[in-house]
Structure 1
Amino acid sequence: MTIHYEDQSNIFHLQAKDMSYIIQIVNGTPAHAYWGKKLRHEKSLEQFIAPRWDDKHNSLPLDGLPQEYPQYGTGDFRSPAYQVHLSDGSRITELVYKKHRVIKGKPKLEGLPAVYVENENEAETLELELRDEYSGLTVFLSYTVFADHNAIARSVKFLNEGEDPIELWRALSASIDFHDSDYEMMYLSGAWAREAQVRTRPLLPGSTSINSKRGVSSHQHNPFVVIKRPDANEDHGDVYGFSLVYSGSFLAEAEVDQYFNTRISIGINPFDFGWTLNPGDHFQTPETVMVYSSEGIGGMSRTYHKLYRTRLARGNFRDKERPILVNNWEATYFNFDADKIVSIAEAGAELGIELFVLDDGWFGKRDDDTTSLGDWYEDRRKLPNGLEDLAERVKATGLQFGLWVEPEMVSPESELYKKHPDWCIHVKDRRRTLQRNQLVLDFSRKEVRDYIFEVLSDIFTRVPISYIKWDMNRYLTEIGSVDWPTSQQTEIGHRYVLGLYELLERITTKFPHILFESCSSGGGRFDPGMLFYMPQTWTSDTTDAIERLRIQYGTSIIYPNSSMGAHISSIPNHQVGRMTPLTTRGDVAMSGNFGYEMDLRTFSNEEKEIAKQQVSLYKEIRPLVQKGDFYRLKNPFIGNEAAWMFVSEDQREALVFYFKVLAEPQMLNKRLVLKGLNPEFNYVSVNDGIVYGGDQLLNAGIYLPKLHGDYASTWFKLRAQ
């Protein structure tokens, strides 16, 4: 990891683990020269850009120059990275390189989540300072490279050093121009209960984009995009990932120009965004984490997994094993009392489960989803002795106690709304759209955040809570705030996200002993921004194992398994009505943070024994699932099978899961080729004692048992001798 600068050629050569990234200043414009496999730092690097763009006629052909942070209005007709509106009515700026500095380590981003380092030797950061002399706008481009990861973290800071206000209309976090268009774009799309569906399309002249305008990162598109060579697959080929560390509306765009160059840009969605920079004010964009892999999609995924698991997630639970839990939602919905809850906890204790989570319906007068959000005090009809008593009764069974909350929401039918009807996101004198019978609290306002902090702090202090599920069940509509002037209403969407981050920082800092899990109707806000505050996310409201094969496979393209909540639920499944064996449901759920979402009291004796075995097995394999290297073996999007495996860092242990969706007649035993093992090791199968050579498993594979019936699965564990 080194950042080189050659002053004669104005070249910056950023070297990471096995990767190089090269920038050249061409007539004051930062131009993109190279991103790929690690190069030696040689004088010949000067030939990258300057000879191709010789400025013979004192005019820079910006429309073809590969740039690092392109602007609007000066000859580049592609999508700009930023756009402003000046006090004279013009929208034209011309950022020119002024100076740079190299910083050991990685500076924090003010008010925003970001990847971090624990000592300055883990990374180096280049900061380029650009300035538009006419307006006084100064822009700082930040690039951090890492010693142990093929990744670059990019962000941008705008500073108004002029005499007049400047309106930011567009402020993306990163833009990069590739020198050809021979790429495919891959991304994760979906809907509620159908998140993280892997999509791939070729890039052609014109623009291709994914986005969210919903105020959150959304079920529909994850704030993440990949471009890859057409021949790149899971294990081979050049792949480039772009992940936005942000939880609000976003844009990710690929544009192929008339010269067949490709521009990738990502950041806050410019739609309905504006930000006023008064003289002396600054604006910080979220961070984009860019990963290069020459080892296909799998290599990119493992880089993101390790980086996000160890240098994005924080706190006491970053490296701790996550508890096996039972959640009462699908067991009781709103219909419960203290005795029923304790009886479910007792059933969980019999199976060896470690944590009970009380879900929706414990507060206000909450008998359905029409009331009480915002009234964060116990419903004494259901819990006559309060949460303290219930938590102690649950703990007496041997389980820890956890709680569901939805702090960002308010029900019109609530004491809070009757007292403060202006505390929700809304536009004055306009209709307030209800979704799930609720509105969104205005977290751009400090008094609203302070109220939520105080009421939650009271509960978390007096009740022995070890886990919180933080839910968010609707998108933002009528985005506005009565607390901000007319000129700043386009700031509210982003200020909501900043307010959320401020509240999460306060509350997770005050209660470091609590494991927080984020949720947004499942995966509606499964993004890196939330993982900075909460190390795991409820992956989807779909608990059907077969649907989860695709959802968890797609989520693993970028996010580590340690971040995925994955539970067994009852059958017929509540979302799709499918009847899936308990063993298969367990094998899918054990590939994430394991738990049960059902009434354990209904288990037969046979089911109890299966569940006890699942709980016991997960306690054994938990370190490998949560910290091992993850390899995808069979893609459920393109066949009747799915398979994946976990390998310990020293390659001495491995765990393989295989799933067959529909039964097929007249099928011989198949061999499954494995990945990630040491070819020089011999591995014994813990299941049957057979010894295999690592090279045999990597090249010839291992025979799978015949599986009978639909929705079948198997697993096996390998240990080096």
Structure 2
Amino acid sequence: MQELIRFNSENNMFTLSNNHITYIMEIVEHSYLVHRYWGKKLAGYHFSNRPLLNKRTFAATPNNEKPEISPEFLPFELPFSHQGDYRSSAIQIQQENADEITRFCYKSYEIQNGVIELTDLPHARNTDEQAQTLIIYLYDQIAEIELALYYTIFEDSPVIVRSSRVKNVGTQSLKVTKLLSASIDTRYDQQLATTFYGTHQKEFQLNRSKIQHGLFKIGSSRGASGPQYPPFIALSKDANEFQGEVYAITLIYSGNHEIALERDQYNHLRIQIGLNSETFSWRLEAGETFYSPQALLSYSDQGFNGSSQSFHQFFTNHLIHPAWKSKDRPILINSWEMTYYDVNDKLIRKLIDAASDLGFETVVLDDGWYGQRNSSKTSLGDWSVDTEKFPEGIKPLVDYAKQKNVGFGIWFEPEMISPNTELIQKHPDWVMRSKNYEPLLGRSQYVLDLTNVDVQEFIIITLLKAITEWGVNYIKWDMNRHMTDPFSQSQTFESSEYSHRYMIGFYRIVNELTNAYPEVLFENCSSGGGRLDPGMLFYFPQTWISDNTDGLDRQQIQYGASYLFPISSITGHVSDVPNHQTNRVVSFKTRAALASSTNMGYEMDIIQMSNEEKKSIRKHLKDYKQERALIMKGTFYRLHSPFESNTCVWMFANKKQAIIYVFRNVYQVYDLSLLIKIPALDSQSLYQEQRTKQVYSGSELANCGLALENTKGDIIVQKINLKKLEE
């Protein structure tokens, strides 16, 4: 077994290293655990970058004989408050006497083979790939608190997994008011910070900015990771898509989170990620423990494409359920934009007939099939089939689809409840709400209290019925509002624990369902990408990335999401025009190309269309099936950013073939032609473009580029299909 983690007792140094990266820590003054290096693999390390410290006025000094050793200067692995380190802390604990001072000192370490599996939270999975985990124990002797820091490194991945655990080893209760998953201290060196912002129908918008002095902080307090500021930050200096160093961090968690970036007066940088400390606390009685979610730290010396590919490989190998990590996802037709709430048995049977005829693999019955659901104002929680719309129920439709060799899926929004439902009359205490105030409605619905085990069981039983009695093989799990009243009517814990306990309840539900029925495909949706994060990917192999299917907006949304998520985890549909979200008219060719760059499906009326339109769809589905393995399992490259130019270009490639989609948006008369450089191919090989049959060298395409016709019109696409010629 390869030694991935080493401890040198002579210089008190921990080294985590594989063929890609090295991560180094040092124990200073037999007490402090400090950060020394994270980056490209080192052949050896002898503290060459260790700062030469000097005494500074106002700096607190635990040892008066060594005034240069101050927490104000030390690059801590997990900094804590009230020790002379005035930067953002990563842990805060309040003792029973209200004392908030803790002083953790290094105690011991251990090295384990494999990964740490968290009982209540999604986590990096064990696979055949060798991994080792370092556990470093810090201890506060007075408060009687043990702090364990976890570091997992894999044999062939540039990703390190970090998390923390607090254990109350004393006799009095404690309250953890802050516990982050990772904190990194480094030097400011003109780096830029890359994060994402967004909103419903405009997710994953790229934000790249200079780092000023002071504290920059983003996150979510919505009870979900949210489209506003998803859990991701990257630091880079001179990096582009293909060159330069990128240090990227994300969080395997789907609830309230925070990301902090602080540049202090000495040009130290502190990057942190974890639970949102403004909406979190956790009481620990004697002997109890609390684990933070896991953070992922990725290093790339091959630009942002290299960083993304590291995350793509890691998510595929260590997050996505093994049953789906290499399995083809079905091409589906969803009823939503075709019918909205106006669904019925006769119409869905026609949809199944059309889907089977055209080559679709699954039909999805979206919202409107239950209760009296004719609008967004009713019936959530009353999951009985609307017998006026479906007199025979859902199972005959599933059976009919099977006869047509088509799978059948169904939509749920399990976490929500509508007013004036039977469920709310039977169980008013199941609603998330304060005891003192009327709860606020969002999208005409309340949120169920998932901290209540009875609610969890109700959701599990409801979805099991669809799987075991009706036989559906696909469930679209939606969530269309965020928390406003995060309190439980029936539970007794403190209100500041609520949002995290909600996530633990949610994870328990989806964990039981997906483990019991791994063959059923669960798709994550939250009005699109409202809860798209690595934590959700642990249970949901794919996510409906945005309700916005517009051919222009989708370029930025899909481009941004690819910074983190593999293409196999992103779903995109061809929808009708004028687009239902923007009223924009974009050609079928462009809309099909965008959907083909994801887990592809459709969302339009395929029953009433003309024979010519059906012919185009048949060809699209046939082509996609032939190319699906390359798109889902090939390496994805971003070539031109829609955030920076009039073009958006990306590529799917393996050793034998490459498909490039070139989206050119606004036609400019002065652009006589387009020129697209195509790097990342084999520079010593020849490639034939399949439409023109022209042959080019890989080095020629990378350095000279490929000239394309600048066709008149806006939002057009050109597809380049290159196949490597045998030598």
| Distance in structure 2 (CA, Å) of the matches to 1:132 and 1:494 | 25
| Distance in structure 2 (CA, Å) of the matches to 1:411 and 1:16 | 52
Is the CA contact 1:363–1:379 (under 8 Å) kept in the aligned structure 2? yes
User: Could you report, residue by residue, the CA deviation over 1:48-76 in whole angstroms, capped at 9, with x for unpaired residues?
Assistant: 43864797724531011111000001110
Q: What are the residue-to-residue correspondences of 1:378-389 with 2, within 5 Å?
A: 378-389=385-396
Q: Which residue of 1 aligns with 2:44?
A: 41
User: Could you report, residue by residue, the CA deviation over 1:481-524 in whole angstroms, capped at 9, with x for unpaired residues?
Assistant: 12222x52211100000110011110111111111110001000
Q: Which residue of 1 aligns with 2:214?
A: 206
User: Could you report, residue by residue, the CA deviation over 1:662-707 in whole angstroms, capped at 9, with x for unpaired residues?
Assistant: 2221432222111221112211222222221111122112222332
| Distance in structure 2 (CA, Å) of the matches to 1:545 and 1:629 | 23
Among 20, 23, 28, the residue aligned to 2:22: 20
| Distance in structure 1 (CA, Å) of the matches to 2:705 and 2:133 | 43
Among 563, 566, 575, the residue aligned to 2:569: 563
| Distance in structure 1 (CA, Å) of the matches to 2:567 and 2:353 | 29
Q: Does 1:153 align with 2:157?
A: no
Among 552, 575, 599, the residue aligned to 1:593: 599
Q: Does 1:671 align with 2:675?
A: yes
Structure 1 residue identity aligned to 2:149? L
Among 522, 525, 544, the residue aligned to 1:519: 525
Structure 2 residue identity aligned to 1:713? V
Structure 1 stretch displaced more, 401-410 or 599-608: 599-608
Is the CA contact 2:429–2:490 (under 8 Å) kept in the aligned structure 1? no
Structure 2 residue identity aligned to 1:575? Q
Q: Which residue of 2 aligns with 1:11?
A: 13
| Distance in structure 2 (CA, Å) of the matches to 1:58 and 1:660 | 62
Q: Does 1:534 align with 2:540?
A: yes
Structure 2 residue identity aligned to 1:631? Y
| Distance in structure 1 (CA, Å) of the matches to 2:6 and 2:318 | 25
SS at match of 1:613: helix
Is the CA contact 2:256–2:279 (under 8 Å) kept in the aligned structure 1? no
Q: Does 1:680 align with 2:681?
A: no
Q: Which residue of 1 aligns with 2:58?
A: none
Q: Does 1:167 align with 2:172?
A: no
| Distance in structure 2 (CA, Å) of the matches to 1:17 and 1:105 | 18
Is the CA contact 1:192–1:524 (under 8 Å) kept in the aligned structure 2? yes
Q: Does 1:446 align with 2:453?
A: yes
Q: Does 1:117 align with 2:121?
A: no
User: Could you report, residue by residue, the CA deviation over 1:15-36 in whole angstroms, capped at 9, with x for unpaired residues?
Assistant: 1331111100112111010111
Kindly state the Cα deviation for residue 280 of structure 1 after the two structures are TM-superposed. Answer: 0.3
Q: Does 1:92 align with 2:104?
A: no
Is the CA contact 1:583–1:610 (under 8 Å) kept in the aligned structure 2? no
| Distance in structure 2 (CA, Å) of the matches to 1:94 and 1:429 | 39
TM superposition score normalised by structure 2: 0.96
Is the CA contact 2:476–2:525 (under 8 Å) kept in the aligned structure 1? yes
| Distance in structure 2 (CA, Å) of the matches to 1:419 and 1:530 | 31
Among 57, 61, 72, the residue aligned to 2:70: 61
Is the CA contact 1:587–1:657 (under 8 Å) kept in the aligned structure 2? yes
Q: Which residue of 1 aligns with 2:310?
A: 303
SS at match of 1:364: coil
Among 471, 479, 490, the residue aligned to 1:472: 479
Aligned residues: 714
Q: What are the residue-to-residue correspondences of 1:638-677 with 2, within 5 Å?
A: 638-648=644-654, 651-677=655-681
Is the CA contact 1:673–1:697 (under 8 Å) kept in the aligned structure 2? yes
Among 117, 122, 127, the residue aligned to 2:135: 127
Structure 2 residue identity aligned to 1:645? M
| Distance in structure 1 (CA, Å) of the matches to 2:621 and 2:475 | 21
Is the CA contact 1:213–1:250 (under 8 Å) kept in the aligned structure 2? yes
| Distance in structure 2 (CA, Å) of the matches to 1:63 and 1:603 | 69
Is the CA contact 1:13–1:41 (under 8 Å) kept in the aligned structure 2? no
Unaligned stretches of 5+ residues in structure 1: none
Identity, in percent, stands at: 37
Among 577, 583, 586, the residue aligned to 2:589: 583
Structure 1 stretch displaced more, 570-579 or 601-610: 601-610
| Distance in structure 1 (CA, Å) of the matches to 2:51 and 2:140 | 23
Is the CA contact 1:53–1:61 (under 8 Å) kept in the aligned structure 2? no
Among 220, 224, 227, the residue aligned to 2:228: 220
Q: Which residue of 2 aligns with 1:702?
A: 706
User: Could you report, residue by residue, the CA deviation over 1:190-214 in whole angstroms, capped at 9, with x for unpaired residues?
Assistant: 1000000000111111011111010
Structure 1 stretch displaced more, 534-543 or 10-19: 10-19
Q: Which residue of 2 aligns with 1:70?
A: 79
Is the CA contact 1:181–1:256 (under 8 Å) kept in the aligned structure 2? no
Q: Does 1:406 align with 2:413?
A: yes
| Distance in structure 1 (CA, Å) of the matches to 2:449 and 2:189 | 43
Is the CA contact 1:687–1:717 (under 8 Å) kept in the aligned structure 2? yes
SS at match of 2:93: strand
TM superposition score normalised by structure 1: 0.97
Q: What are the residue-to-residue correspondences of 1:131-530 with 2, within 5 Å?
A: 131-229=139-237, 231-485=238-492, 488-530=494-536
SS at match of 1:600: coil
| Distance in structure 1 (CA, Å) of the matches to 2:680 and 2:423 | 54
| Distance in structure 2 (CA, Å) of the matches to 1:695 and 1:79 | 48
Structure 2 residue identity aligned to 1:684? Q
User: Could you report, residue by residue, the CA deviation over 1:106-156 in whole angstroms, capped at 9, with x for unpaired residues?
Assistant: 12122111122313x521111100000011110100011121111110000
Structure 2 residue identity aligned to 1:24? E
User: Could you report, residue by residue, the CA deviation over 1:393-418 in whole angstroms, capped at 9, with x for unpaired residues?
Assistant: 23333321011111111111211111
Q: Which residue of 1 aligns with 2:578?
A: 572
Is the CA contact 1:205–1:255 (under 8 Å) kept in the aligned structure 2? yes
| Distance in structure 2 (CA, Å) of the matches to 1:537 and 1:17 | 32
SS at match of 2:43: coil
Kindly state the Cα deviation for residue 181 of structure 1 after the two structures are TM-superposed. Answer: 4.5
Is the CA contact 2:431–2:489 (under 8 Å) kept in the aligned structure 1? no
Kindly state the Cα deviation for residue 469 of structure 1 after the two structures are TM-superposed. Answer: 0.6
Q: Which residue of 1 aligns with 2:115?
A: 106
User: Could you report, residue by residue, the CA deviation over 1:203-228 in whole angstroms, capped at 9, with x for unpaired residues?
Assistant: 11101111101000001111111111
Q: Which residue of 1 aligns with 2:643?
A: 637
| Distance in structure 2 (CA, Å) of the matches to 1:53 and 1:246 | 40
Is the CA contact 2:127–2:317 (under 8 Å) kept in the aligned structure 1? no
| Distance in structure 1 (CA, Å) of the matches to 2:665 and 2:353 | 34
Is the CA contact 2:344–2:389 (under 8 Å) kept in the aligned structure 1? yes
| Distance in structure 2 (CA, Å) of the matches to 1:708 and 1:115 | 48
User: Could you report, residue by residue, the CA deviation over 1:543-570 in whole angstroms, capped at 9, with x for unpaired residues?
Assistant: 1111100000000011111110100110
Kindly state the Cα deviation for residue 390 of structure 1 after the two structures are TM-superposed. Answer: 1.5
SS at match of 1:159: strand
| Distance in structure 2 (CA, Å) of the matches to 1:527 and 1:327 | 23
SS at match of 1:221: coil
| Distance in structure 1 (CA, Å) of the matches to 2:575 and 2:10 | 64
Q: 1:375 to 1:10 in 2, by over 3 A?
A: same
User: Could you report, residue by residue, the CA deviation over 1:220-251 in whole angstroms, capped at 9, with x for unpaired residues?
Assistant: 1111111111x211111111111011000100
